[in-house]
Chains A and B, each alone.
Chain A
């Protein structure tokens, strides 16, 4: 598997550390309900199709990256810096 780091370019997936769904970017308000927090910390969709994950370019520049990919075809549809995604959603 090859991932294009927005900073470094296309690299082998062994340079990256995988963490999971990019929903992690949407941290709830500290006062949000138990249900919202439970969802945020524990519950993840397992889609057959397009998904957005967080990867860390640990063996490279240290950037956290949102990778949009298809779990059926394994196609990587796009990569963005997580900080850009987070700031755009703020």
Chain B
């Protein structure tokens, strides 16, 4: 219920949201948790494994119990912490992991068979029959255990990623963080202050103390206002820094519009990469629970969370509150409850020397050992020297001490050290280069300590940044010492919870120790403690203390598990922002793209490029009809094909020829100006990397083409050779792929077509096979190469890209007038298979020049990349699978790519495989399927019969092995 006159929520702004369909009223500034508590809703969730009733346990991002689903349908977010989700009008919240309802959950039966469900139960029980695991056991277990569920629909929300840079990143805006940001901001540093809460101030907003004579919350608000007025300070509320990475890089998750009913076009979340020269961690500390029987009952909360609900939200979490503590924090809670007018029924302090610090019943040297009530706390039982006593209560505030939030300091392999006096792990200086720590995260728990350490850490950072810090005036605040006596778990027979989120109890940890899972990392994996969405923020230290006790070791000797990013759960959608669907993936379009699409061509991806598959003509209903027609058209008349996607690299310099001699297996220094040569490139390990033609444009100027797929890798390789292997060569490289639109003009009528376009007619003398030179088209200077990938008389014409579309449209129109037209990738592929030309289907990274029949292209006269290794034993000879052609022989005419080859009559098993097919197609020219394949010792086996077996598609075809050049082996047509 609300406490009149308390809290920082805006009582003038009512907010109505729903919880499991019931309308709930809250105020602006409430979280779902505070609004539910204000309405006396205690039962909020069901636990992971036993479906135990659970309520709100904390007030921050570490919340282990109150996980809810927000929204519905495709946009629903599961496992949202009710303590973090701000309320707004129309917000829809649902409880999780229950059926049919939160109040009546059938699977709560698990709780009554719990003796069988302890750690290791599944591992030991569902061993056999083996086949049952996947089909029966796992699905049933998964249905029974769990938290929220995904909608399994496409997420319609938008997410973003962004980079930010600053001098100083201050992580956490509690007293130390605000003081650090103020000190650095006033000194002129470029500061980012990030805090996961919507309202900056940390514990200053949750606690009742004073700073500089005003309430802590008022001081925080004043500090935030000053920071907001500084142009060199950026405030990032609702932003959890999730990880510390190399060279001052930090990950951070900003909840941009989770708190808004109408996002107004803003993304739901933004994942930031913040690059900071220095950082100060002011992450505070998390209060730890104490394990005792039934300590997970709704109404049992951390003592600091109770204070937060009273002071920040003006909510009394109970009518008769009890406190269980081993340190002074519990007493502070009792005093602040009484000051707010809430009845404190009893304080149970485990210390015999507990201070008498307020007007409330106090039992010293006692421990709470049980809790009554199932769906809401009704009573506690404490055990004192005199025996056990039961106290009626509806809220128990527990404090087992504080765990400094050291997580980020450990993200680069550092390990925190144990401080006996505060019974906590604290960071060691230098665990993250450039990061200082201040306040509670390094074990300083007083407000004064936090403020002064924040100022001091800012001074250190400013000095490192070369900035002068002004005189820091640390405000006046409480500086009470922190006194506690360790208490992790109260003895007893029943189940006492350590990890609330994964339902791990003290018994489970002891069981792990008994079964010799003594290492903390083994215990964690055996019991699943710390493996839930909260990553054990509430339970890790308690669990390892219990393990230390069970194994007779000390806590520092037992050690912590590894802290890994992210500090809070980060949705995959936020990390993958920009990659949803097509996302930011670049698309590359040729200048003929629009014309191809308009002609009805289906476009297929080639790397980032899109290329036309085929151009359907009227009446054609299958791709094969179009492809066959286009092949015939090229062989009989003329075809136009956009080949701009092939890589084009401009190579210039006095040593360009020597450079190419080193890059290619064959000679280029002997190539005459105005001529083109086919070249083969190897990787240094001797396998083929790429092939293509290179034209000598001038004495010191070459124009190289690469395959479409390898354009990037080849550019990288050439730069590598130029910079890393042969920096003495004077050569410059430039990719010009995008600058030139290039089209193949292919077929017996290709020259006839070109001569209607070019300003000066060409003939066989001016442009013989493998010639190149400048031409002009309507006054536009272009390049002409007489090269062919089809075996036909053919050219490639290149013009600056801005003229590409116009030239393409003109050429297609002229081709059509000559009985030809545009052709696509399918026809291009058939044309090259008919000629036995290779692509990356053949030079797929495992084949050598020898394998593809180009062994003689590796020049003996010079060194080149890959030459030495290509001569290794095993890369040449009869044992190699060599490129051959295949033609079907029997009644089955179909060939398929990726099928395996066997000797006729051999069993088609792996051991008998003789090779495989790489490219196949139906040749309308030869009226047969044709295939390119690699066959063991294949060049010596022309004329032999082999069996092609495609186990996947169920095709078996008798084939004749032949030369890979099926059509016009003499090459008469290309010279035509």
Q: Point out the residues of chain B lying under 8 angstroms from A30, CB to CB.
A: 863, 867-868
Closest to A36 in B: B868
A8: min CB distance to chain B, Å:
15
Q: Point out the residues of chain A lying under 8 angstroms from B868, CB to CB.
A: 28, 30, 32, 37
With contact pairs A2-B275, A83-B727, A86-B725 given, residues A41 and B869 touching in the complex (Cβ less than 8 Å): yes
Q: Is the C-beta of B724 less than 8 angstroms from some C-beta in chain A?
A: yes
- Beta-carbon contacts under 8 Å, B224-267 to A: 245-249
Interface contact B247-A17, CB-CB below 8 Å: no
Q: Point out the residues of chain B lying under 8 angstroms from A24, CB to CB.
A: 724
* Measured CA separation A64–B249 after assembly (Å): 23
Interface contact A82-B723, CB-CB below 8 Å: yes
**Residue from A12, A42, A64, A74 in contact with B720 in the complex, judged by beta carbons closer than 8 Å:** A64
* Measured CA separation A25–B867 after assembly (Å): 17
Contact flags B462-497 to A (C-beta < 8 A → 1, else 0): 000000000000000000000000000000000000
* Measured CA separation A34–B863 after assembly (Å): 16
Interface contact A12-B716, CB-CB below 8 Å: no
* Measured CA separation A58–B735 after assembly (Å): 12
Closest to A17 in B: B716
Q: Is the C-beta of B433 less than 8 angstroms from some C-beta in chain A?
A: yes
- Beta-carbon contacts under 8 Å, A32-89 to B: 32, 34, 37, 40-42, 54, 56, 58, 62-64, 72-76, 81-83, 86-87
From A28, A42, A56, A62, name the one whose CB has the most chain B CB atoms within 10 angstroms.
A62
With contact pairs A37-B869, A74-B246, A75-B433 given, residues A83 and B724 touching in the complex (Cβ less than 8 Å): yes
* Measured CA separation A27–B727 after assembly (Å): 13
Q: Is the C-beta of B20 less than 8 angstroms from some C-beta in chain A?
A: no
A59: min CB distance to chain B, Å:
11
Binding site for A on B (CB under 8 A): 163, 245-249, 273, 275, 412-413, 433, 684-685, 716, 719-720, 723-725, 727-728, 863, 867-869, 872
Q: Point out the residues of chain A lying under 8 angstroms from B727, CB to CB.
A: 82-83, 86-87
Q: Point out the residues of chain A lying under 8 angstroms from B716, CB to CB.
A: 17, 56, 58
* Measured CA separation A76–B245 after assembly (Å): 13
Interface contact A86-B684, CB-CB below 8 Å: no
B715: min CB distance to chain A, Å:
8
SS class, residues of chain A in contact with chain B: mixed
Rank and list the top 5 A-B pairs by shortest CB-CB distance, nearest first: A2-B247, A83-B727, A64-B723, A1-B246, A74-B246
Q: Point out the residues of chain B lying under 8 angstroms from A83, CB to CB.
A: 723-724, 727
* Measured CA separation A64–B718 after assembly (Å): 11
With contact pairs A30-B863, A30-B868 given, residues A81 and B248 touching in the complex (Cβ less than 8 Å): no
B327: min CB distance to chain A, Å:
37
A13: min CB distance to chain B, Å:
8
Closest to B864 in A: A30
A54: min CB distance to chain B, Å:
7
Closest to B724 in A: A82
A-B contact pairs, 21 of them (CB 8 A): A1-B249, A2-B249, A2-B275, A12-B249, A12-B275, A25-B725, A27-B684, A27-B725, A32-B868, A41-B685, A41-B869, A54-B724, A64-B720, A73-B412, A74-B246, A74-B247, A81-B723, A82-B723, A83-B724, A86-B727, A87-B727
Interface contact B724-A1, CB-CB below 8 Å: no
| Seed contacts A12-B163, A54-B724, A73-B433; 11 additional CB < 8 Å A-B pairs | A1-B247, A2-B275, A27-B684, A27-B725, A30-B868, A37-B868, A41-B869, A64-B723, A76-B246, A86-B723, A86-B727
* Measured CA separation A1–B273 after assembly (Å): 11
**Residue from B412, B433, B724 in contact with A86 in the complex, judged by beta carbons closer than 8 Å:** B724
Closest to A14 in B: B273
Q: Point out the residues of chain B lying under 8 angstroms from A74, CB to CB.
A: 246-247, 412
